[in-house]
């Protein structure tokens, strides 16, 4: 009887993302910016539970320090505007910062408080303060991340009519904290773009100059979006607002070939001189292949078996990039790709297309599945035959049990990750690719 009653429904277990108010951590990732959470007492802590995993921690004003209205019964009955007003006023006195972002959650939006009126009062007094709607029922934390970015652009960055700088590029990339390796990845992308001759305007993380960087957005020659879909709304908004073109790179470059091609594409798009970028690419390639050559002497003659087949579970950002690199550059065999971040329907065909053309020889094609409910993700993995060699799941810690049951290796590359301590590790670009190779093949050790 069970089979007909067990079906794919709206239910989610083992969640892979939080809700829109999780964008408080995108704000906390901007140096000098302070999120002000206009929501219940538990909302922010819960989002921290899924957004800041892999032991990456957070720093002030994250880490439990986020000002919050902590909605109680009184606010539900009488409205929360008064308490929000008190909170903003005291936040400005207590929390050091130069940009304040009010994020309103489910209760505030359902009760229908006029949050903008409260915020405006402080904006009129000269404070840099922004308001963003981030009710959990409106969308997930990726939706919230874009909403907050656009709110800051509209309410803080404001109008700009001046000249643009050709070599200055705004980087729109991984969602802070939600991608556990974002800090190292931002560092690598900045490094290589600078190597190719660009000035990179970083908006999130310690490499950003915070509000100064945000104010600089309209001055950039163009927006560079490296992401399958998150950020598209933002760069399209900027295109209209500042007549600023954007270059969309849907698959993060990993490995020398993809990274060099990426740099050439960006240089071409910007129309800047190629001399510097070509020299940089040459030098990077030399270093990269020296490592690869050494690695090859292990890779090609290791007696005791290497990882062969893999499945990957995670958000589309790493999922696309990893599947491509592992398949095309290392010759691993992809069995399943489960995409967990619920990309809007309109973006899905383009994402599918990446998996249809994974390799240079175009011999490997895979049909990705879009699933958010862990129950079904585990069923998919359960029914997958990983063969007799070392099989690998690239996934979250939710896949730990199924990996153990099937005697597979789990490499935690997606959120939530409970078994990694990540500081500056990166898996992208030139250097990150080498780290990824280390990680993948280290699982073969001890298997003899």
Partner 1 sequence: MTSTRKINLSMSECDNREMRLGTITSWDGSASELTKASDYEERSAEKQQKCCGKRGRACQLCELNMPFSQETTCAHAMVSCQIGNITDCILVEHSPIGCSAQQHGLNISMNIGLARRHKQPQTISILSTNLLEKDMVFGASDKLRQTIRDAYYRYSPKAVFISMACSTAIIGEDIDSIAYELQDELGIEVIPLHCEGFRSKHWSTGFDISQHGILRSIVEKNPKKKQKDLINIVQLWGTDYFSDILKPLGLRVNYLVDMASYDELKQASEAVATTTFCHTLGSYMATALEEHFGVPQINAPQPYGIAATDEWLRTIAKVVGKEKIVEEYIESEHKRIQPELDELREKLKGLYGFVMTGSAYAHGLTSVLKELGIGVDGSIVFHHDPVYDSGQENQNTLKFLVDTYGDIPYFTVSKTQPFQLPAILKRSKADFVIIRHGGLATIAAKLGIPSLAMGDESIPIGYDGILRTGRIILNIIARKRFDRILARHTELGYTDWWLSQSDPFILARHPELLDENEESKGDPLNG
Full DSSP string of 298-335: HHTT-TT--EEEEEEEE-HHHHHHHHHIIIIIT--EEE
Any contact of residue 127 with partner 1 (CB under 8 A)?
yes
Window 1-30: residues binding partner 1 (CB under 8 A):
2, 5-6, 9-15, 17-22
CB of 277 to partner 1, least distance (A): 36
Q: Whole-number minimum distance, CB 361 to partner 1, in Å?
A: 39
Residue number, 70 or 384, with CB nearest to partner 1: 70
Least distance from partner 1 to the Cβ atom of residue 94, Å: 5
305 binds partner 1 (CB under 8 A): no
Candidates 135-143, 145-153, 252-260, 386-394: pick the segment binding partner 1 (CB under 8 A): 135-143
Tokens 């409260």 map to which residue? 118
Token duo for residue 181: 């390796």
Taking the CB of residue 373, how many other CB atoms lie within 10 A of it?
18
Give the Å distances, CA to CA, from 90 to 94, 128, 397.
6, 15, 39
Tell me whether residue 140 or residue 260 sits nearer to partner 1 (CB atom). Answer: 140
Q: In whole angstroms, how close is the CB of 37 to partner 1 at the nearest point?
A: 6
Question: Considering Cα of 249, then 254, then 255, then 256, what sign does the dihedral take?
Answer: positive
- What character string, x for contact with partner 1 (CB under 8 A) and - otherwise, covers 33-52? ----x--xxxxxxxxxxxx-
- Please, which of residues 93-112 interact with partner 1 by CB under 8 A? 93-98, 100, 105-107, 110-111
List the interface residues with partner 1, window 231-290 (CB under 8 A): none
Shortest distance, CB of residue 407 to partner 1, whole angstroms?
A: 16
- Contact set for partner 1, span 349-378 (CB under 8 A): 375
Angle between helices 275-299 and 429-442 (to 10 degrees): 10
51 to 90, contacts with partner 1 by CB under 8 A?
51, 53, 57, 59-61, 63-73, 75-76, 86-87, 89-90
Q: How many angstroms separate the CA atoms of 419 and 119, rounded? A: 41
**Which lies closer to partner 1 via its Cβ, residue 105 or residue 197?**
105
Our CB check for partner 1 shows the closer of 115 and 358 to be 115
Q: How far is the CB of 46 from partner 1 (least distance, A)?
A: 4
130, 101 contact by CB (below 8 A):
yes
How near is the Cβ of 301 to partner 1 at its closest, in Å? Answer: 38
CB-nearer residue toward partner 1: 98 or 369:
98
**Positions 379 through 398 that interact with partner 1 (CB under 8 A):** 396-398
Dihedral (CA of 229, 234, 237, 242) sign: negative
What's the angle, vertex CA 74, arms to CA 69 and CA 78, rounded to 5? 100
Contacts with 82 (C-beta within 8 Å, 6 or more apart), sequence order: none
β partners of residue 19: 140
Spatial distance between the Cα atoms of 434 and 30, rounded to a whole number of angstroms: 29
Region 404-443 residues binding partner 1, contact defined as CB under 8 A: 416, 418
Which is closer to partner 1, CB of 58 or CB of 323? 58
User: Residue 378 Cβ, how far from partner 1 at the closest point, in Å?
Assistant: 8
Q: Give the C-alpha separation, 229 to 231, whole Å.
A: 6
Token pair listed for 57? 């921690």
Q: Which residues pair with 101 in a beta bridge?
A: 35, 130
Q: Which two tokens stand for residue 83?
A: 């308490």
> Which among 122-130, 149-157, 219-227, 343-351 is the span making contact with partner 1, rule CB under 8 A?
122-130
Query: Is residue 209 a contact point for partner 1 (CB under 8 A)?
Result: no
């Amino acid at each position: 009887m069970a089979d007909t009653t067990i079906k794919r429904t709206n239910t989610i277990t083992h969640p892979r993302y939080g809700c829109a108010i999780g964008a408080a951590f995108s704000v906390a990732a901007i140096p000098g910016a302070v999120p002000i959470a206009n929501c219940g007492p538990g909302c922010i802590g819960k989002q921290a539970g899924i957004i800041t995993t892999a032991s990456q921690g957070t720093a002030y004003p994250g880490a439990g320090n986020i000002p919050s209205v902590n909605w109680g019964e009184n606010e539900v009955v009488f409205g929360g505007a008064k308490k929000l007003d008190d909170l903003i006023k005291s936040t400005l006195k207590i929390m050091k910062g130069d940009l304040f972002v009010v994020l309103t959650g489910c209760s505030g939006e359902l009760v229908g408080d006029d949050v903008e009126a409260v915020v405006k009062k402080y904006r009129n007094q000269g404070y840099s303060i922004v308001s963003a709607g981030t009710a959990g029922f409106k969308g997930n934390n990726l939706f919230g991340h874009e909403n907050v970015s656009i709110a800051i652009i509209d309410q803080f960055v404001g109008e700009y009519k001046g000249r643009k700088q050709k070599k200055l590029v705004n980087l729109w990339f991984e969602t802070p904290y939600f991608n556990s390796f974002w800090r190292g990845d931002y560092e690598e992308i900045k490094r290589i773009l600078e190597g190719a001759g660009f000035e990179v305007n970083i908006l999130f993380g310690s490499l950003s100059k915070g509000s100064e960087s945000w104010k600089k957005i309209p001055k950039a020659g163009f927006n560079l979006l490296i992401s399958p879909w998150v950020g598209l709304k933002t760069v399209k908004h900027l295109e209209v607002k500042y007549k600023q073109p954007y270059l969309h790179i849907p698959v993060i470059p990993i490995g020398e070939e993809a990274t060099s091609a990426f740099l050439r594409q960006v240089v071409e798009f910007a129309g800047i001189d190629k001399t510097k970028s070509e020299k940089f690419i040459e030098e990077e390639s030399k270093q990269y292949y020296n490592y690869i050559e050494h690695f090859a002497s292990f890779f090609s003659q290791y007696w005791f078996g290497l990882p062969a087949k893999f499945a990957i579970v995670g958000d589309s950002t790493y999922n696309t990039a990893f599947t491509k690199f592992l398949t095309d550059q290392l010759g691993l065999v992809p069995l399943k790709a489960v995409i967990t971040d619920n990309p809007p329907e309109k973006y899905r065909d383009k994402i599918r297309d990446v998996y249809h053309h994974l390799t240079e020889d175009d011999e490997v094609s895979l049909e990705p599945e879009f699933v958010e409910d862990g129950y079904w993700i585990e069923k998919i993995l359960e029914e997958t035959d990983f063969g007799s060699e070392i099989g690998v799941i690239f996934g979250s810690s939710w896949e730990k049990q199924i990996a153990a049951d099937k005697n597979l290796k789990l490499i935690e590359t997606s959120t939530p990750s409970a078994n990694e301590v990540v500081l500056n590790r990166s898996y992208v670009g030139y250097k990150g690719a080498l780290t990824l190779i280390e990680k993948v093949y280290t699982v073969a050790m001890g298997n003899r």
